Amino acid sequence: MNITHPFVDADGDKLREECGIFGVIGAHEAAAVCALGLHALQHRGQEAVGITSFDGAEFFTRRGLGHVADNFSSGDSIAELPGTTAAGHVRYSTTGGAGLRNVQPLYAELASGGFAVAHNGNISNAGHLRGDLVRRGAIFQSTSDTEVIIHLVATSRYPNLRDKIVDALRLVEGAYSLILMTPQGMIACRDPLGIRPLVMGALGDATVFASETVALDVVGASFTRQIDPGEMVEVDFDGKITSHRPFAQVAARPCIFEHVYFSRPDSIFNQRSVYESRKMIGVELAKEAPCEADLVVPVPDSGVPAAIGYSQQSGIPFELGIIRSHYVGRTFIQPSDSARNSGVKRKHNANRALVEGKKIVLIDDSIVRGTTSLKIVQMMRDAGAREVHFRVASPPTGHGCYYGVDTPERSKLLAGRMDVDAMREFIQADSLAFVSIDGLYRAVGLAGRNDACPQYCDACFTGDYPTSLTDLGERHNREAQLTLPVNSKVA
């Protein structure tokens, strides 16, 4: 269960990043550095964690369900992972589902030696590729799309391992940031669109890779640069760094939701402070959707920066009208329906003395299914708020993500089946407004969305997917075949 992002209820009423990755080569006790880096990325995945290390002769792997601290807090757990090179992964499940067999890094013995992969993203033609591989005799040990990459590397006819990796990645579509460990060193790469993030840093003589800059900060590494879209960076055991650009150059489309919600606010994404972007979203929201109110109240914690921006732009005082409890554990017992339904109040409670009799502007980062927003609005009303106006620091999320985000089907997304007025009625707010797509682009430092060539992947808002979606298309074709009358034919 996710406990970092508040208000995640049994319906999964928040979008969740699939995972975070971290790698280090050339560091004393590399596994300990890796565990610390993964702890800083815990918000990106709380279902499971794994670390693989290499001591120059052998690979060692330890994986477990739960948080980093649950699995790597003791000296004994780190002692099981010797060597100066390590890569790790924290995850939620999207493709492949839950279970220890899907916990990364995934490891395999290839003809060229050991090979470990940590992957952030989602391969949108993994099912198609997997079917081809199985028909050719491949035997899979997991249901993760990442294992498809391993099989493609193993079956490539190129003699050089780096060329095998490039050959494999040319067959996949979708999003990937990868950290790969080989007997020759470490390789980090991003897909040509750069949908998922990956940065590089230096820790003394060691080289570090991570999903976010905050992980570099926490381990004491200095930020070097981001890995560019379509770039492959190779580091050998002597510390030599080589950059390769084996893919055709295309216009980058990094995920704009990193600015909205996924990244920690103290990270830098795409050369911009995430905190500053979120605050500026609130500024744009105040310009586009002003409101007469007494207080601006964030839905903690993800709504705080946008609420600050909204307050500063509108002149309406910012107040903590909702107080978050930081002591709600993953194993909290919920013995009855009434207890389960009180989940929001266990995590948050209205500051009644502050909100009673007031007109409130609530600021949240997104609305997914809408069930949580309904509970929050009702909580404010129960605390005596006179009016509750809801403002959302992202456009309506009306489309699914197929690039590494755990998104409900479109039929379960509130914006996928309702217009804004119907959504307002559903959550029972006095008014509801979302930042526009152009306002979101302005908040991240651009003039607006370039519809001819968007600068970010914003498919969850616009339905404008930057890659083919082979598996989805094949699934729709199968479903269409199943619904055909018995005697019908397809032209």
- Please give the pLDDT value at position 75: 87
Does residue 19 have an active-site annotation? yes
- Please give the pLDDT value at position 482: 73
Q: Locate 17 and state its tokens.
A: 């990043």
- Please give the pLDDT value at position 407: 77
Tokens 């107040």, residue located: 319
CATH architecture, domain defined by 273-324+337-453: 3-Layer(aba) Sandwich (3.40)
pLDDT digits (tens, 9 = 90+) for 61-119: 999 999 999 999 888 999 999 999 999 999 986 445 557 889 999 999 999 899 999 99
- Please give the pLDDT value at position 178: 98
Torsion of CA 269, 273, 278, 281, to 10 degrees: -90
- Please give the pLDDT value at position 339: 45
Considering the chain, tell me which residue range(s) the CATH 3.40.50.2020 domain(s) occupy.
273-324+337-453
- Please give the pLDDT value at position 9: 40
Task: With beta carbons less than 8 A apart as the criterion, state whether 251 and 5 touch.
Answer: no
d(CA 375, CA 8): 12
State which residues of the chain have pLDDT below 50. 1-11, 94-95, 330-341, 488-491
Looking at CATH, the fold of the domain delimited by 16-254 is given as Glutamine Phosphoribosylpyrophosphate, subunit 1, domain 1 (3.60.20)
Considering the chain, tell me which residue range(s) the CATH 3.60.20.10 domain(s) occupy.
16-254
d(CA 47, CA 100): 10
d(CA 322, CA 49): 32
- Of 19, 34, 255, 457, the catalytic one is 19
Q: Which residues contact 397 (CB under 8 A, 6 or more apart)?
A: 15, 366, 367, 368, 407, 413, 415, 460, 461
pTM over 0.85: yes
Q: Residue 42 class from Cβ within 10 Å (0-12 exposed, 13-18 middle, 19+ buried)?
A: middle
- Please give the pLDDT value at position 323: 94
d(CA 204, CA 482): 59
Residue 416's alpha-carbon distances to 10, 423, 427, 438, in angstroms, are 20, 10, 15, 20
Task: With beta carbons less than 8 A apart as the criterion, state whether 22 and 210 touch.
Answer: yes
pLDDT digits (tens, 9 = 90+) for 160-201: 999 999 999 999 999 999 999 999 999 999 999 999 999 999
